[in-house]
Chains A and B, each alone.
Chain A
Amino acid sequence: MKSQRWQLSKSNSYSSSMLHYRNPWIVIWWSLALPGFGHFIVQSYLFGFILMSFEYLTNTMANLNLSIYYSMLGEFDKAREVLDGCILVYITVYIYAVWDSYQRCVSLNKTYQLAYRQKENIKPMHVSTFEINPLGKKKPLLSLIWAFLMPVTPFIYSQRLPAVVFGFFWWSIILYFSSLLDGVIYTFIGDFQQAKAVLDPQWLLYIPSILGFCMFNSYQYTVENNKLFELAQSRFFKENYQEGCLNDLYKYKQGAN
C-alpha cells in the first residue's frame, strides 16, 4: 500500500490526536479566555501547556485577576495599585497566543479536507505494556458532567495522558491557593461571610475559565471521537463486507418481466 500523504488521526496507547473541523472563532474565544486553551483545542498540547503555565505564572505575578476584580467592583484606585509592571510581557504573549491558535486552526481545517478525501484506513486499536487505547464510542454528556465535577477526569475518559498529568498539576495548585473547597463547604453550611473571607479572588477567577473550557472541550472531543469511530468502521465495512452480491434479491421481479 502506498504511504499516506495526509493523516486524519494518529494515536498511540496513551494519547490520541485527530483532525476534525474546528470553528476558528471558537478557538479565538478560548485563547482570549485563557492563553493556551486555543492551542489545546487544535491539539498542539505542548505549546498549550507552555502558554497556560505562562498565563498562570505571569497573571499571578502581575495580580491581573485581582486588578480585574477591583475594576469590576468599581474600586479603580485599588485596581491600579495591585497591578504589577510585568503585565507588559503578559500582553504580548496573550495577543500572540490568540493569533497563533487562530492560524493553526485555519491551516488544520484545510489539511482536514485533504486527509478526509484520502480515505485511509484508520487503525482502531493501540496497545503497549502500559496502556490500551481502543477506538470506541463514548458518551459526550457523561464527560461533560465529569468535567464539571472534576475538570481533569474527562481527559482520562478520552485517553489523553499528557493532559491528565498537566491538568492534575495545575488544578491542584489552583484549588489550593483559591481555597475553593473551603469556600464550597462554608457556602453549603450557609456561612457566606466566612466563604467570602477565605476565597482568594486572584486564584478563584481562573476557575470559571477552566471549568467552562474543560466542559466544552471534553464534550466536543467525545463527539468527534465518536464520529471518527463511525468513519473508521464505515471504511472497514466498505472494504471488507461488500464482496457479496445482492442480485438474488431481485430475481423474482426480473423473472416476471
Chain B
Amino acid sequence: MHIVASFEYSTTLELALNKLEENGIKKGDIVVIPLDKREEESMVLDTLHHSDGKSLIDIAAILGTIFMLLGTIYGFILEWGPIIWGLIGLLAGALLGFFIDFFYTRKRNKMGKVTKEKTSEVIMTIKCHNNERKVIESILWEHNALGVGRVGEKT
C-alpha cells in the first residue's frame, strides 16, 4: 500500500524522514515531491514588474517613515508633543501605505489571489506493508503533516 501526506516546508519535515528511515522504511520506498510555487518561476522571469506578498510592506514602510518624521517635527508645536505625534504618524502612514499597496497590487495581479499562509508545499508518498501503517501515520501526524491519505490498502 501507499501512504500519501502533505507538508509545509520545515525542519520538522526532515526529522519525519529521518524517523521513518529509523523505523525501517527504505529510502527507495519514499518519494518526496516539493511543489514549485507559481510565483517562484515568475519571480525569476519577470523581474521588472515583480510583485508578491512581501511588497505589501514596501510602501507602508516608506509612508510610515515619512509621516513619522512629519509627526515628530510638528509634534514640537502641537499639543501632545513629538513622541505621540510621531507614533500617530507612523501608524497613519503605514496603514495608508498598506492600503495603497493592497489595492494597487491587487489591481495589477489579474488573478486577484493572495497566497494563503498555510498551503501544502511538499507531497510525500511512502510504499509500505499494511502492518506498518499505524507507525508511519503516527510519525507523519507527530511531525505536522497537513493531511494523510492511503492508496491500495488491499495488498
Contacts and interface: CB of A to CB of B under 8 A. Distances in A.
Interface of A: 21, 23, 26, 29, 33, 68-69, 72-73, 109, 113, 116-117, 134, 136-137, 144, 180, 183-184, 186-187, 192, 195-196, 199, 201, 204-205, 207-209, 211-213, 215-216, 219-220, 223-224, 229-231, 233-234, 236-238, 240-246, 248-249, 252
Given A208-B65, A241-B31, A21 B11 contact: no
Interface string B133-144: 000000000000
B61 interface: yes
Contact of B76 (A73, A109, A212, A223): A73
Interface of B: 2, 9-11, 13-14, 17, 27-34, 36, 40, 43-44, 47, 50, 53-55, 57-58, 61-62, 64-65, 68-70, 72-77, 79-84, 86, 89-90, 121-122, 124-125, 127, 151-152
29 contacts: A21-B50, A23-B55, A68-B73, A73-B77, A117-B44, A134-B11, A136-B11, A137-B11, A180-B83, A184-B83, A192-B79, A195-B82, A199-B76, A204-B72, A207-B86, A208-B89, A209-B69, A216-B61, A220-B57, A223-B54, A229-B9, A234-B36, A237-B32, A237-B34, A243-B27, A243-B28, A244-B28, A244-B30, A249-B152
A198 to B, nearest CB: 10
A177 to B, nearest CB: 15
Contact of A69 (B13, B43, B73): B73
A72 B73 contact: yes
Given A21-B50, A137-B10, A199-B83, 20 more contacts: A23-B50, A69-B76, A144-B57, A195-B82, A199-B76, A199-B81, A208-B65, A208-B69, A211-B90, A212-B62, A212-B64, A215-B61, A215-B64, A216-B58, A237-B32, A241-B27, A241-B124, A243-B28, A244-B30, A244-B31
8 closest residue pairs by CB, A with B: A212-B65, A216-B61, A241-B32, A234-B34, A208-B68, A187-B83, A192-B81, A237-B32
A227 B82 CA distance: 39
Nearest to B75: A196
A97 B122 CA distance: 43
A195 B73 CA distance: 13
A113 B9 CA distance: 23
A21 B34 contact: no
A57 to B, nearest CB: 20
A237 B13 CA distance: 11
Contacts of A187: 80-81, 83-84
A233 B13 contact: yes
Given A199-B82, A252-B152, A212 B34 contact: no
Contact of A246 (B31, B36, B64): B31
B82 A248 contact: no
A29 B62 contact: yes
Given A23-B50, A109-B47, A205-B69, A249 B151 contact: yes
Nearest to A251: B152
Contacts of B124: 241
Given A113-B47, A208-B65, A248-B152, A201 B9 contact: no
Contacts of B90: 208, 211-212
A11 to B, nearest CB: 16
A136 B40 CA distance: 19
Contacts of B86: 207-208
Given A201-B73, A249-B151, A21 B29 contact: no
B27 A73 contact: no
A72 to B, nearest CB: 5
Contacts of A238: 34
